[in-house]
Amino acid sequence: MRAVAVTAFGAIPELVDIPQPEAGPGEVLVRLAAAGVNPFDWKVVDGMLDGKMPHTFPLVLGVDGAGTVAAVGAGVTRFAAGDQVYGQFFHAPVGAGTYAEYVTVPEGQAITAAPASVPASAAAAVPTAGVTALTLLDEVGAGPGQRLLVVGATGGVGSFVTQLAAARGAHVIATASGDGVDRIRGLGAAETVDHHKGSIAGQLADGVDALIDVVSAAPAFAANAGLVRAGGVAATTVFAADVEALAERQVRGVNVNGKPTPELLDLLAAEIDAGRLRVPVETQVPLAEAPEALALSRSGHSRGKTVILI
């Protein structure tokens, strides 16, 4: 089968031909239609999990995907051939990824029935970004009347955060520039701040009740967190929060790592099928162009979600 893989940590991803996997006992074999691109994918290439989890090479990249169950192994009860599924296919050993025509996954992993109202190309963009957004919103207690600053709002996680927070009644202030302003307002942002026009803190006269920042390194995150009022929360997905320093200002700092579960994926699918959550797919590329899409993600210049069509 065709797949995009690396032969060693730090190697350049390339399109390869490898044997098609088979479903073993307790496993599900999925014929993938699409895979979602996440920064986590290139971080695995860089060796972020080296020494923490076992790996296999060639290491097929990708954790998010959507497709059709092709076969099930002995003992599997949750799925049957022909089921439409989506989820996060990440498990040990690292290397059986979703940038491929087929993937096997233990039945108990974070996969579930795909949302019925969108194609697989949209469903594949949801798992990691959507679950991370839900986790962030739960951490900051997003709700009616809350002034919530979202930094990195036009990316995948930020787009989901903006929609879900607005649906919960929060007053969302989102960073955006250019044509991203209209797009993020269309997703529910009440205000926007152009981070290209100076510091975010310098452009907001009033403070905020909570901060969700999915892009800033420690110095910029600290500056943005300075806008959070005492009793508020400042959350980051890049582990930039100095929890002790923030606590001295009576602000709770949170370094968030969302962990998908079938239950959270079911919740996201329900939101999508009810029309309350739009999937911000910005770019779709064929499997052969996955290395270039991954390089763009690494550069930090991608917007919305990028999906690989398989």
Residue 301 has a pLDDT of 65
**43, 86: one domain:** yes
- Please report whether residue 269 resides in a domain: no
In this structure, are residues 235 and 212 in contact, taking their beta carbons and an 8 Å threshold?
Answer: yes
Residue 195 has a pLDDT of 86
Stated pTM of the model: 0.92
- Please report whether residue 273 resides in a domain: no
**210, 160: one domain:** yes
Beta strands in 152-304 (DSSP E): 171-175, 191-193, 208-213, 228-236, 252-255, 281-286
**171, 118: one domain:** no
Range of the domain at 13: 2-126+279-309
Domain CATH code at residue 245: 3.40.50.720
Tokens of 70: 């092709």
Tokens of 226: 């300075």
Residue ending a domain, among 217, 239, 255, is: 255
As a whole number of angstroms, the distance between CA 32 and CA 299 comes to 26
**146, 37: one domain:** no
Cα atoms in the Cβ-side hemisphere of radius 13 Å centred on 223: 13
Tokens of 72: 């099930």
- Please report whether residue 230 resides in a domain: yes
Classify strands 64-72 and 59-60 as parallel, antiparallel or unpaired.
Answer: unpaired
**10, 122: one domain:** yes
The count of domains in the chain is 2
Per-residue pLDDT of the chain (310 residues; tens, 9 = 90+): 999 999 999 999 999 999 999 999 999 999 999 999 998 999 999 999 999 999 999 999 999 999 999 999 999 999 999 999 999 999 999 999 999 999 999 999 999 999 999 999 999 999 999 999 999 999 999 999 999 999 999 988 999 999 999 999 999 999 999 989 999 999 999 999 998 888 898 898 789 999 999 999 999 999 999 999 999 999 999 999 999 999 999 999 999 988 999 999 999 999 999 998 999 898 999 999 999 999 988 887 666 789 999 9
